[in-house]
Amino acid sequence: MSETRLKPIEKIGYGLGDFGSNVVFQTILILLPAFYTDVFGLAPAAMGLMFLAVRLIDTVTDPIMGMVADNTNTRWGKFRPYLLWFAIPFAVVFVLTFITPDFSESGKLAYAYLTYALLMVLYTVVNIPYCALGGVMTSDSQERVSANSYRFFIATSAGVLISFFGPGLVDHFGNGNQQEGYPYAMSVFGVLAIFAFFGCFKLTKERVKQVAPTKGSFGLDFKTLLKNDQWLVVAALFLILLIPIVLRGASQVYYVKWFMEKPELIAAFLTTGT
């Protein structure tokens, strides 16, 4: 088989990386807001401000992580090692985010800021190199498209998994006490994410040798990017698309629980909407 062709098992392995990331992303999108307000005890305004503050941090950490990954050189490649090195820390912080400590109101808010911010930093550390991995697995553009088809199908299954099993696992482990149920349920998902990241690392290979990145100015690079009108159009369209997805995902649990007053239907409602 040509070096540019990817075996189906490698495409599946590539998809496992996004499965692991999407386990965390979909949980944050679907379950975390309701957990923070209804279980953890944060005021909605405080939660919203925290989400905004941490997203502003992302605007700095994302490009920094991209530069770090570009300058990484190991016997495993540039991007795959991050799946191996940070899978377990990522899963551990993921579980810690869903623990409700016995702190004061201000202490709990500080704990939420710390764990959520650290979770998002680790998400960046894992996901930025993963997103770059597809470009170095093969130089064949058609194979890249095929690999991404596998990726998106497998990633979608993570959303179905979280929607269908998430609420039930919380109830199962907590026996009616969601503060106790959430950490155990998230531990199950965290272990799945670890195995998915390890599987992606094991089954994929970096073949395309990249030209060594030239040293430049971050400010100059950013100005150049802003002059790219096509990038601006794509960025605006992506933002317009993402806003309703986030609003819909974050409001579903509230809608079923408080508007419909049918909390027992949360899992079914989330799954059918995935």
Please check the confidence at residue 169 and state whether its pLDDT lies above 90.
Answer: yes
Please check the confidence at residue 2 and state whether its pLDDT lies above 70.
Answer: no
Say what the pLDDT of residue 267 is: 81
Residue 2, judged by CB atoms within 10 A of its CB (0-12, 13-18, 19+), counts as exposed
Q: Give the pLDDT band (50/70/90) at residue 51.
A: very high
Please check the confidence at residue 274 and state whether its pLDDT lies above 70.
Answer: no
pLDDT tens digit sequence for 76-103: 999 999 999 999 999 999 999 999 999 9
Say what the pLDDT of residue 1 is: 43
Q: Worst-scoring range by mean pLDDT, 90-99, 164-173, 209-218, 259-268?
A: 209-218
Q: Worst-scoring range by mean pLDDT, 67-81, 179-193, 207-221?
A: 207-221
Q: Worst-scoring range by mean pLDDT, 104-108, 151-155, 159-163, 217-221?
A: 217-221
Question: Partners of 74 in the beta sheet?
Answer: 77
CA distance 173 to 171: 6
Whether residue 39 is contained in a domain is answered as: yes
CATH number at residue 28: 1.20.1250.20
Whether residue 229 is contained in a domain is answered as: no
Whether residue 271 is contained in a domain is answered as: no
Whether residue 1 is contained in a domain is answered as: no
Whether residue 197 is contained in a domain is answered as: yes
Q: Structurally, how many domains does the chain consist of? A: 1
Whether residue 233 is contained in a domain is answered as: no
Whether residue 238 is contained in a domain is answered as: no
Residue 30, judged by CB atoms within 10 A of its CB (0-12, 13-18, 19+), counts as buried
- Residue range 229-236: mean pLDDT, rounded: 90
CA distance 121 to 89: 11
Percent of the chain with pLDDT over 90: 72
- Contact present, 160 and 24 (Cβ < 8 Å): no
Say what the pLDDT of residue 199 is: 98
- Residue range 19-35: mean pLDDT, rounded: 95
Residue in the block written with tokens 């997103």: 131
Whether residue 218 is contained in a domain is answered as: no
DSSP label at residue 74: B
Residue in the block written with tokens 């390890």: 198
pLDDT tens digit sequence for 240-268: 988 888 888 878 888 888 888 888 888 88
- pLDDT averaged over every residue in the chain: 91
Say what the pLDDT of residue 3 is: 57
Q: Which residues contact 146 (CB under 8 A, 6 or more apart)?
A: 6, 11
Domain that holds residue 186: 8-207
Say what the pLDDT of residue 211 is: 65
In 3-state terms, the chain is what percent helix, strand and coil (to 5)?
Answer: 80, 0, 20
Q: State the angle between helix axes of 141-174 and 8-30 in degrees (0 to 180), rounded to the nearest 10.
A: 40
